[in-house]
Every structure is written in structure tokens, then in C-alpha cells.
């Protein structure tokens, strides 16, 4: 079994309109719209992910009788890498509104003399993940190392049964890294895959720094 990759940009839908605005330097100047577009991408990804989740039939009483309805058998746990992942997380939460939530603090620690950096995990807030479905989101999948380290940190709270990775822009290198280092039961949901990665691990054409665009520059 190999990792399933769902590239949503390959379908013709309004999703691609949101992706175009997320990438556009003109639209990016409006932080509120940038955050909302990330949120809308999260909502559409939640809808797509919901199609592959298990369902059960329950009786629902209406004013005129009883209807047999298909509902989610379980709610996923939504896991987010701070801070850039927050709008994407909110979009997922808008649809999986009964989900449990996990937050991971990770950052790039650059070396002083070159473009190399280490990714460090500082903080994890999470319920038990044992045997659960986890949706791990971050807007950017550059090298893939942050996502893999975040997954390994999640294992401190138990081994999930199923992992969905949701990201807006990925590099070819990042996708390959996930294929090599994530478990086989992982499914990747991505808005677009770009081919180029700079020496400082920024995706080209990409969209820039999602955290800064959403919340302002950091020192």
C-alpha cells in the first residue's frame, strides 16, 4: 500500500478560484481575504475528505415522520501546525464541527552561516489519538520535514488509525519526502504541487510566507 495523493487543482471547480487569489500578490495585500481564502480551501478539503470516511445510518425524527440518514461514524481529530495553519484549521473545523483538536508549535531554526535549518517542535496540545482518524494540516509543504516531525510528535498521544495530510501548496520534493517517511495509511490532500524549491526551502511559484501573509511579519 502506498500513500494516496489527491491534487484538487486537477479538477475544474471554484476551488481553483480560491487558489488563484491565495497566490496573487494583489489579493494577498488584503490579509482578511487571504485568511478567508485559506479557510475556504480548508472547508472544501473537509468536504472532499468526508467522502472517504465511514458512515452509519441513524433514524432522524422530522415534524412528519422518521428519515433514515447517513451520518459520520466518527469525528476526526484536527491537528494544526501553528501559526500559519490556523485559518486552514478553521475551515476544516467549520465542517467537522464536533471534532477534537490538536495544536503543534513548530519553527525553522536557521543556522547563522548558511541556508540550512532545523525544524524544532516546541509545544503539543492534544487529546488521545489512539485508533482515531487525524487530519494534519499546514498551508505549505516545502521539504516535508515539518510535517513528518509533527506526525512523530503526535505519536506521543497514541497511534492514529488513519492520517490525512491537508496542505495548500506542496513541492515535488515535499511530496516525495512524505511518501518516504509517512505511514502507508496516509492520504495527502493538496491544492497544487509546484516543482521548484529555493535553497532556503521556499516553493516557487508558491505563495510566499503563509504565516506572514495571514498575520503580519515576524522578527
Count of positions (residues) in the chain: 219
Query: Domains of the chain (ranges plus CATH)?
Result: 4-215 (3.40.50.2020)
Cut 0.85: pTM above it: yes
Cβ count within 10 A of residue 85: 30
Local structure of residue 114 (DSSP, 8 states) = S
Q: What is the 3-state secondary structure (H, E, C) of 191-212?
A: EEEECEECCCCCEECCCCCHHH
**Alpha-carbon 88 to chain mean position:** 7
Along the 219 residues of the chain, how does pLDDT read in single tens digits?
689 999 999 999 999 999 999 999 999 999 999 999 999 999 999 999 999 999 999 999 999 999 999 999 999 999 998 888 999 999 999 999 999 999 998 765 555 655 555 667 778 899 999 999 999 999 999 999 889 999 999 999 999 999 999 999 999 999 999 999 999 889 999 999 999 999 888 999 999 999 999 998 876
Amino acid at each position: 500500500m502506498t500513500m494516496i495523493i489527491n491534487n484538487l487543482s486537477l479538477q475544474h471547480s471554484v476551488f481553483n478560484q480560491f487558489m488563484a487569489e491565495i497566490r496573487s500578490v494583489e489579493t494577498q495585500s488584503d490579509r482578511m481575504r487571504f485568511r478567508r481564502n485559506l479557510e475556504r480551501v480548508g472547508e472544501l478539503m473537509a468536504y472532499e475528505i468526508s467522502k472517504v470516511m465511514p458512515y452509519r445510518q441513524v433514524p432522524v425524527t422530522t415534524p412528519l415522520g422518521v428519515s433514515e440518514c447517513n451520518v459520520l461514524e466518527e469525528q476526526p481529530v484536527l491537528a494544526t501546525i501553528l501559526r500559519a495553519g490556523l485559518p486552514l484549521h478553521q475551515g476544516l473545523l467549520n465542517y467537522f464541527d464536533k471534532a477534537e483538536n490538536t495544536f503543534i508549535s513548530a519553527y525553522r531554526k536557521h543556522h547563522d552561516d548558511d541556508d540550512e535549518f532545523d525544524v524544532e517542535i516546541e509545544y503539543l496540545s492534544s487529546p488521545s489519538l489512539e485508533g482515531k482518524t487525524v487530519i494534519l494540516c499546514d498551508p505549505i509543504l516545502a521539504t516535508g520535514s515539518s510535517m513528518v516531525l509533527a506526525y512523530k510528535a503526535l505519536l506521543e498521544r497514541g497511534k492514529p488509525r488513519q492520517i490525512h495530510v491537508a496542505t495548500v501548496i506542496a513541492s515535488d520534493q515535499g511530496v516525495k519526502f512524505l511518501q518516504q517517511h509517512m505511514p502507508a495509511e496516509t492520504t495527502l490532500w493538496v491544492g497544487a504541487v509546484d516543482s521548484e524549491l529555493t535553497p532556503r526551502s521556499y516553493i516557487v511559484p508558491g505563495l510566499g510566507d503563509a504565516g506572514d501573509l495571514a498575520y503580519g511579519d515576524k522578527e
